[in-house]
Structure 1
């Protein structure tokens, strides 16, 4: 879900921007800043030679990051970080909205 959220957020930008993505997901931060380079050079395989999960999403995210000047900041989850608290509230509200649509 975190990976899709970043893709949606960056995809909503209609012009090149300087963006700071704050995430509590080590998976997303390390995936796009470190691991993706190794995955690509290994034919989208991990160091243990298994297939990278969500390759389509990683490709989308990489393409979007190339359109913008993106910096990445990891924040501890549920530690009172204003942005993390707000993101969690928005995510919960959207889940509730989707459930109510059924």
Structure 2
């Protein structure tokens, strides 16, 4: 399965391992109004965006039938877990979480 991340400046990181995912998250310390998040996108179309505040946005931009979901105050450990699930293609496990729409 193919996946990639965008760092806070929009640079693409192809198929990052967990250590690289952590480094990309570290870049959120430099987030600003123009570059507020990092994200991981899976070939299925699903995307998880991460903000420094602990906000996560879960969406599939290719599917207009489902509005984006969000979770607030998500810990770094949980964020890394969810990024790992998405990278592995475990979409169903992420979908079952309590996303606010």
| Range class of TM-score, shorter chain | under 0.3
Q: Give the number of the structure whose residues are more often strand, by fraction.
A: 2
RCO comparison, higher one (Cα < 8 Å, 6+)? 1
Which entry has the higher C-alpha Rg, 1 or 2?
Answer: 1
